[in-house]
Amino acid sequence: MRVLLIIMLAGLIGTCSSPPPILEQVLETGQLRVVTRDSPTSYTVSPNGPSGPEYDLVQAFADELGVALVIESVTSVSEIMPKLISGDAHMAAAGLSITANRREFLNFGHPYKSVNVHLIYKLGTGKPRSVEDILDRSIEVVAGSSHVDLLASLQSAYPELSWTENADVEFADLLTKVAMDEVDLTVADSPDFNIQRHFYPELRIAMDLEIGDPIAWAFPKRAADSLLARADQFLISAERSGMLARVQDRYYGHTRKFDYVGTRSFIRHYESRLPRYRQMFEQAGRESRVDWRLLAAIGYQESHWRSHAVSPTGVRGIMMLTQDTADYLRIDDRLDPKSSIFGGARYFVRQTERVADTVDEPDRTWMALAAYNVGFNHVKDARMIVEWEGGDPDSWIDLRKALPLLAQRKWYSRVPYGYARGWEPVLYVSNIRRYYNILKWLTANEEPPEVEGPVDEDEPLILTESDRPEETA
């Protein structure tokens, strides 16, 4: 493949005159052509449109240039370099790490994040503790990825090291294969692993093969670096303004906290408890225009999908409504699952409507969830603190730093609504984001499961503070 790329590059250089700088081409045509990967860590398309960390950044860059963004999505890392060398794309925004082999053909811009590179195994199969421990185990990696180069560098010291390269899979597919015992080991960057471990909680890190591997946008070497220079200016500015941090939080914030036991319990309850209430969540979602899986995630955080759950402070039902909230929603029986689910959906919509119009999604949803938990007035107080501290009150990443301050006299004595256990809505939102992400994955390619037998409500119906540390509406 390296020989083919060299021939392609030589042909392009030898058969045409020097093209104008890429930035000039972009501005003249009014289009920025970008190649990226079809991956949750780069770019995906849903019924709500395109999204992904790379998409958000490159769309903002195109907006700054005043041009239209044209995305070409590929499924394999090995397809990216030919797209750049042939001129089909002006740049690549695909979570590419900077390697010596890639530098031969591409220029890389300012690294805008770094990842750790993990060797992944499945719990119960024996944890490898050194390279010597993996010499007799099957290893599969994505063809054309930086992981191939990393293993090749190890092979110089361990000639017996061998692996299989697969061009027809993505990183998530290989993590699935390890979880399904189809291969012993794989190599994964930390963002991919942090997402997939919530789906397959048996996956574990055996060792770190590299720490702080830089990730950057890539550009062809065949023309001047004017576009690269503008991209660097944009990314440095985005880092200083906090935009990079907000994008990372939007897609990875929910992956930071991982609870092996909790994740296993959630998946078990998805199979044993949710079928009884799934149609109610779906109908409530349709009527409220809220993704039913988000409503279900709220219900799980509140009660673990137990319709007769009661907290020590008197909130009760699947959606854990207070008596005041039930009265406001005109709900007679909080323990009736349908009333609770539909009431909780209406109450969540109400909190969303109260969030300032200047707040964009998904921050709007996270703030509404925080208000569902701690009360909207305390969220308003936290927004005041953010403003006092010079932050952005429309940013969830800034708000979640301010909410815990509501438990400190220095701050709660200065705001209208006083003391609140402000750390609880931060944990609350984080948990719901994680449950929501797992539900989206579990339901992506399946029909609603049939209800077989009684719903599993064998755990105590009285929730302790350790069961449910948050208070609700």
Instruction: Tell me, rounded to whole angstroms, the distance of Cα 452 from its chain centroid.
Output: 33
CA-closest candidate to residue 341, choices 363, 324, 362, 326: 326
- Calpha distance 339→302 (Å, rounded): 15
Residue 302 is among the residues annotated as catalytic for this protein? yes
Q: Given 302, 424, 470, 471, which residue is catalytic?
A: 302
Q: Are 27 and 65 in contact (CB under 8 A)?
A: yes
Q: Are 118 and 188 in contact (CB under 8 A)?
A: yes
- Calpha distance 285→342 (Å, rounded): 9
Q: What is the DSSP letter of 136?
A: T
Q: Are 472 and 372 in contact (CB under 8 A)?
A: yes
The sign of the torsion formed by the CA atoms of 326, 327, 329, 335 equals: positive
- Calpha distance 374→322 (Å, rounded): 12
- CB atoms inside a 10 Å sphere around CB 441: 16
Residue 38, classed as helix, strand or coil, is strand
Q: Are 235 and 243 in contact (CB under 8 A)?
A: no
Looking at residue 116, its amino acid is: N
Q: Are 97 and 116 in contact (CB under 8 A)?
A: no
* Peptide bond connecting 404 to the previous residue in cis, omega within 30 degrees of 0: no
- Calpha distance 423→365 (Å, rounded): 18
DSSP secondary structure letters along 150-191 = HHHHHHTT-TT---EEETT--HHHHHHHHHTTSSSEEEEEHH
363: Cβ contacts below 8 Å, ≥ 6 apart:
246, 250, 394, 395, 396, 399
Within 13 A of 257's CA, how many CA atoms are on the CB side? 12
Cα 266–Cα 272–Cα 273 angle in degrees, nearest 5? 80
- Calpha distance 96→58 (Å, rounded): 14
Q: Are 218 and 80 in contact (CB under 8 A)?
A: yes
- CB atoms inside a 10 Å sphere around CB 167: 13
- Calpha distance 232→367 (Å, rounded): 32
Q: What is the DSSP letter of 134?
A: G
- Calpha distance 92→71 (Å, rounded): 10
The catalytic site residues sit at: 302
